[in-house]
Amino acid sequence: MNAQRRKLTISVLILLPVLLISGLLIMSLFSHRPDDLGIKNGQLKPCPKSPNCVCSYAEKSDSEHSIDPLTVPSGYKQPMETLKEVVSSLPRMVVVDSKEDYLRVELTSALMRYVDDVEFQWLADESVIHVRSASRIGRSDLGVNRKRVEKIRELWQSAVEQ
């Protein structure tokens, strides 16, 4: 009986991670491109209540979602072209929409193939580029969206200082 129990325990320990990973992969297959992104009422879409999104339009008091916009140096020409070059230099980021004042990219995670949406809105009169980065599925992103925006900010600063 002891040997049977051990085999059952080993089987369960092998099967559970396989089922978990399979379930997560299936979730990624069912994620779809949102149809409500873009500039609405002059702003990017607000973050949902879940902690898997950051947006520069979020209130500063909302530390979970709030992040600073990118700063555009005074008189800087074609910031969206520079920004497009910056995000295109990052792995697995694909530009899906590009306008004079708006840019949207999709990022596919390496392992689980989850897709996140990252949007930028340039407000020339304020010399800022607002940003929103959000996971399509799941509840927590373990801070990935915030880290991504900060990496983009770092690359943006280097690009505009040249």
Q: Where are the domains of the chain?
A: 1-30, 33-161
Confidence of residue 33 (pLDDT cuts 50, 70, 90): confident
CATH number attached to the domain at 33-161: 3.30.310.80
pLDDT given for residue 114 in this prediction: 85
**SS3 state of residue 5:** helix
**AA letter at 131:** V
Cα separation, 96 vs 98, in Å, equals: 7
Q: Residues, the chain, total?
A: 162
Cβ contacts of residue 68 below 8 Å, gap of 6+? 56, 153
Mean pLDDT of 111-125: 91
Confidence of residue 138 (pLDDT cuts 50, 70, 90): confident
Reported as half-sphere exposure (CB side, CA atoms, 13 A), residue 2 has a value of 0
pLDDT given for residue 20 in this prediction: 56
145 CB-contact burial (10 Å; exposed 0-12 / middle 13-18 / buried 19+): buried
Confidence of residue 28 (pLDDT cuts 50, 70, 90): very low
pTM: predicted TM-score of the whole model, two decimal places = 0.81
Tell me the pLDDT tens digit for each residue of 61-107. 999 999 999 999 998 989 999 999 999 999 999 999 999 999 999 99
111 CB-contact burial (10 Å; exposed 0-12 / middle 13-18 / buried 19+): exposed
Q: What is the C-alpha R_g of the chain? A: 20
